[in-house]
Amino acid sequence: MPPYSPASMNGPISEKLFEAAKKLIPGGVNSPVRAFRNVEGDPFFVRRAKGCRIEDVDGRSLIDYVCTWGPAILGHAPTVITNTVHQVAKEGLSFGIPNPSEVEIAKIIVEWVPSVEKVRMVNSGTEATMSAIRLARGFTGRDKIVKFEGHYHGHVDSLLVAAGSGALTHGEPDSAGIPRSFAAETIAVPFNLPERIEEVFTKFGHEIAAIILEPYPANAGFILPQPGYLELLRALTTRHGALLIFDEVMTGFRLAKGGVQELTGITPDLTAMGKVIGGGLPVGAFGGRADIMDQLAPDGPVYQAGTLSGNPLAMAAGLAQLKELEKQNGYQRLEAIGQRFEKGLRGIISEKGLPYRLNRVGSMWCLYFGDSEIINVDSVQKGDFEAFKRFFWASLEKGVYLAPSPYETGFLSLAHSDRDIDDTLEIFAECLG
């Protein structure tokens, strides 16, 4: 694999913009992973994106496998969405009062997602998980939450929690600014280890309001649950009167119309959603059983509100995207693209005798640079991160943009043609040599 030289990768305009940004914005970025710290370099700045390509301010064109971290399932700036946003914007950008698109998108979500009988729109995935946790506590009258190490649910105080020093200790804050008293109500356990979650419920089952998890974890690369594991979580929560919350902000409407719960047949009590249902605009949603959702204000005692929730632009863009996915039989096409990509990449790995692991479902994938079986974040951390850095920079230099971190998932879109996939695989073959 070729050496990398991050300092030489960006053009002068990106370099100048980043120097200015660092003086005005913490770290020079508005979300930490954009800082490229995990690959020991500096970010470039993008001026436009179309289809499966992004173009930076210095004129470099790149095949994009980040896809806005998931929402760009049709590709960047699809005409059906840009035209919709243009038309809706002429009628007003925000009303602060109900609009028809809120009802229409709610109807689609309820029809498509197995667990959802009622849904409320919010403005981000973080808002969705935060609200779902509050609702679970309000519904059950319990305080404790169980989460899994390496599962990211937004920057919510009670969910930015790492495991304590012992197997069954309460959590420890994973960020400055989070009181220990908040973290103490969260129990963090390793994913995919049945005995650990069973121990937690044996000890604390009567105190647990909910388990929250990414059913297919996508913030430590892309991890799949072991056979029977999701079924175990469903059984434990049901037995102990706790709720099961699926965070499908990344997987929802991307892997299937009904997300992971459609693929697995495991129905949670509540689901957090986002990304794809906004068509590229800020959005989030949470929904579930009607008896639980009816505890929300104004009908119930659990308060949640948002001035821009159900924003007409985001609702219209999301509707346009969901309808277009259905019109194009999008999930079948994405699976075909994914199979082509996976077959080619596995062929390269095999031909070169590389000890790497590849996980893929539909349009989500991750290449792990190591020989360990990938079952949770501990196994991810055994990988060869230096090899990932070399691969990242070599691919970028040849025109392919990947997430700048070994802990992130790659995404495919309907805009990735067979030719784009083949060109990418040719570049990967060179970069993995």
Active site residues: 152, 247, 275
Q: Return d(Cα 211, Cα 70) in angstroms, integer.
A: 24
Q: Which two tokens stand for residue 10?
A: 């960006």
DSSP state of 362: T
Q: Return d(Cα 344, Cα 106) in angstroms, integer.
A: 39
Say if residues 92 and 85 touch (Cβ distance below 8 Å): no
Which H or E run contains 350?
helix 330-352
Q: Return d(Cα 219, Cα 275) in angstroms, integer.
A: 14
Say if residues 378 and 190 touch (Cβ distance below 8 Å): yes
The bridge status of strand 208-213 relative to strand 61-64 is unpaired
Q: Which two tokens stand for residue 219?
A: 């913030």
Indicate the residue type of 262: E
How many H helices and E strands in the chain? 14, 16
Indicate the residue type of 329: N
Enumerate the H helices of 205-274 as residue ranges: 229-240, 259-264
Which H or E run contains 386?
helix 385-397
Say if residues 226 and 413 touch (Cβ distance below 8 Å): no
- 359 beta partners: 366
Which H or E run contains 409?
none
Reported in sequence order, the residue ranges of 59-154 that DSSP labels E, i.e. its strands, are: 61-64, 118-122, 144-148
Say if residues 271 and 113 touch (Cβ distance below 8 Å): yes
- 64 beta partners: 401
3-state SS class at 149: coil
Say if residues 285 and 101 touch (Cβ distance below 8 Å): no
